[in-house]
Amino acid sequence: MGGILLLEDGRSFEGEAFGARGSRVAEVVFNTAMTGYQEVLTDPSYREQIVVMTTSHVGNTGVNGEDPESEAIHVSGFVARRFSRLHSSHRATGGLEQALKRAGVPGLHGIDTRALVRHIRDKGAMKAVISTDGQSIEALGKLLDTWPGMEGRALAGEVCTPTPYVYHQPSAPRARVTVVDGGCKRNILRLLAEANCAVRVEPITASAADWMRDADLIFLSNGPGDPAALTGAIAELKQVVGAMPAVGICLGHQLLGLAIGSTTYKMPFGHRGANHPVKDHETGRVEITSQNHGFCVDRAGIEAAGGVVTHTNLNDGTVSGFRHDGLRVMGVQFHPEACPGPREASHLVLDRYLRFAGV
């Protein structure tokens, strides 16, 4: 059965349907990772996005119970040059198509993904509708008009944990860490546990008092949507800043930037993939990082607030990390916990963040 991806500027790509039958509207973005599609699918930061994989074959290793970064598939649609209906891996417990069907996520393959990615790169990420249920172009165009877009969307509250929970409680912890969940990936929690931290998870919708209770460090997670739309979380975070150490990654990094007085802006097509070079100005090292974001913190705003840019993306010069010693705030735009991606920056979670907090 055929399917179609219709972009808001009128360009369309036809291919073969895969996964669930249906039509979904979201922002279309591309991911440059060569592996790790299951982690991509289950990353809450991809809420309301149609993800195009630039690698040519996806699905060869099936799916398993070890690689998911959350309990659910969060993408709205999945696109590749070619999906494999057959899989071969000793770790596999099922196939990719069956996983997409269970999650109600439509997929599309057999299209020229190079042309699609070039189009997004040149024109920017945009609204799109993926359809595998035979709806007309006219009907799909009307669906496109109903979707509000990504700017101004406070999506983190939709994917965070509904209730607090304790993830790890060692007898003699190095530090007591509260992870503020705005779409937290599992490997963040695993790394903090590996560093012998007591880890408690609180929703991003909770209060600053809840976050700071019995904690040595506040750790703000990744998550989806527009950081500036999370006005409630920013107001609570302003009570944390200066009162105790706070660190963040991705969305958490953006929220910390907003809390100290900087601004954020939407990028043309964002950074998504496992091969983004970032320079650490504190060590002089260049690390290859995993990234997934469509918004960025303004450099001038960080510096005007008294902060220091600690990391720079070498592809486009955007801010990839900052620190404010006076307010005891530190964040990075990329994913030091990887999954998928290289683990070169995992030392941030395992050591530098904790030393920054004085533990």
DSSP 119-179: HHHHH-SEEEEEE-S---HHHHHHHHHH---STT---HHHHS-SS-EEEE--SS-S-EEEE
- Of 253, 293, 337, 339, the catalytic one is 337
Asked if 39 and 67 touch (Cβ cutoff 8 Å), the reply is yes
Active site annotation includes 39: no
Task: Report d(CA 17, CA 130) in Å as an integer.
Answer: 10
Annotated catalytic residue, options 250, 253, 293, 311:
250
The catalytic residue among 160, 168, 335, 339 is 335
Has 337 been annotated as catalytic? yes
Instruction: Report DSSP state, residue 46.
Output: G
Write out the DSSP string of 271-306. EEEEEEEEEETTT--EEEEEEEEEEEE-HHHHHHTT
Kindly give the pairing relationship between strand 126-131 and strand 176-181.
unpaired
Active site residue 335: yes
The three state secondary structure string of 224-275 is: CCCHHHCHHHHHHHHHHCCCCCEEEECHHHHHHHHHCCCCEEEEEEEEEEEE
Instruction: In whole angstroms, give the CA distance from residue 157 to residue 202.
Output: 12
DSSP lists the bridge partners of residue 246 as 218, 329
Q: Name the residues annotated as catalytic.
A: 250, 335, 337
